[in-house]
Homo-oligomer: A and B are copies of this chain.
Amino acid sequence: MKITFLWIGKTTESWLQEGIDVYVKRLKHYISLSIEIIPAPKNLPKQDMEKQKEIEGDAILDRIMPSDEVYLLDERGMSYSSEGLTMFLQEKMSASVKRLVLVVGGPFGFSGRVYQRANGQVSFSQLTFSHQMIRLLVCEQVYRAFTILRGEPYHHR
């Protein structure tokens, strides 16, 4: 299985990018991982959230192949413990999923068409974190999941 992290717009804070790089580098020892960054739409009238979600949504759908399994990071999604997330990944690998795409949306969330295409939604917290910080959390949790799978000592229980 390959994993793709798909997200909208550059990570603008350098410290956040550095943290993401740390976990991505570690993760690549465990799995074939790619990050695809969709440029944030430009020149939109401010506050036109619906328009922004539609444009971002179409760009997300353009990157997705029919054989992909697509999960959205979304507050209203399914909550997991770290062990539960590990089982989720293990099940996807056992089911011979070719590519698992984890999508972190823009600041206003996803369009209806993206929800329709997605295989499911995953919630990392009831709290709202910045859509840029969620990227770091995704990288750390997927890394953690692989250390749990391998019985490595990163995760304490």
Contact = CB atoms under 8 A, between A and B. Distances in A.
Interface of A: 13-16, 18-19, 22, 79-82, 84-85, 107-108, 124-130, 133, 136-137, 140-141, 144, 155-157
Given A13-B19, A19-B19, A22-B13, A81 B127 contact: yes
Contacts of A156: 107-108, 128
How many copies the complex holds: the figure is 2
15 contacts: A13-B19, A14-B18, A15-B15, A15-B16, A15-B19, A16-B19, A81-B128, A82-B128, A108-B156, A127-B137, A128-B156, A128-B157, A130-B140, A133-B137, A133-B140
Contact of A155 (B22, B79, B126, B128): B128
